[in-house]
Structure 1
Amino acid sequence: MITGYLFLLVAILSETAAAAMLKVSDGFKRWQPGVLVVIGYALAFYMMSLTLTSIPLSLSYATWSGAGTVLTTIIGVLWFQEKLNRRAMLGILCLVAGVVLINLS
């Protein structure tokens, strides 16, 4: 089970990095970040497939998508100077609460 969570962590981090590189690639006009997008998403999906051998799909996907969304938002704010309003922050809190509740069930 612990291995499944390690695979899930790698899937989340590689998907988040790939999403950030997608922004940097400027619509794939820059090839270096574009290559990192493809590698990041390929690794994310491979790690997710390994995760599913020990963690149920509903738990895995909720955690992957929720954590990925939160991390991508943090990267957007810190790296790309995107702004969050109160409604967006409430949405992030709801995502975190949802993922925690699903993991506790």
Structure 2
Amino acid sequence: MIKTYIFLILAIFFEVAGTMLLPVTSNFTKLIPTSILTVCYLSAFYLLTFVVNKLPLAIVYATWSGLGVFTIAILGYIFFKQALSWQAILGLFLIVLGVVLVNSFTIKIN
């Protein structure tokens, strides 16, 4: 089960890396960032194929998207100087709390 969550964390990492490259690609006109973005997204989806065999799809997607949104918002604040209001920060932490609760009470599939 640990391996499943490692794959999920790696999938989130690759999805976040790809998403963070979106502004750098300049509407997909820059070849290198666009190529790296493509590899990141493909890697994320490839890793997710292993995870959905062990965990329910709804739980996988909620975790993947929730932690992805949280991480992208924090990294957007750090790297792109995008503002976050206190309400947005509260919402982000509620997303993380929701992900923790959902994963704490998940029925595992063999």
Please indicate, yes or no, whether the TM-score normalized by the shorter chain is above 0.5: yes
Which TM-score tier does this pair reach, normalised by the shorter chain? Answer: over 0.9
CA–CA separation in structure 2 for the residues paired with 1:24 and 1:91: 27
The alpha carbon displacement at 1:87 in A equals 1.7
The alpha carbon displacement at 1:29 in A equals 1.8
CA–CA separation in structure 1 for the residues paired with 2:24 and 2:32: 9
Structure 1 residues without counterparts, runs of 5 or longer: none
> Identical aligned pairs, as a percentage?
37
1:20 aligned partner: 20
1:28 alignment partner AA: F
Structure 2 residues without counterparts, runs of 5 or longer: 106-110
TM-score by length of 1: 0.95
The alpha carbon displacement at 1:37 in A equals 1.0
1:60 aligned partner: 60
CA–CA separation in structure 2 for the residues paired with 1:34 and 1:79: 19
TM-score by length of 2: 0.91
Residue correspondences, number:
105
Deviations 1:43-62 (CA, angstroms, capped at 9, x unpaired) = 00000111111122121111
Q: Structure 1 residue runs of 4+, over 4 Å off? A: none
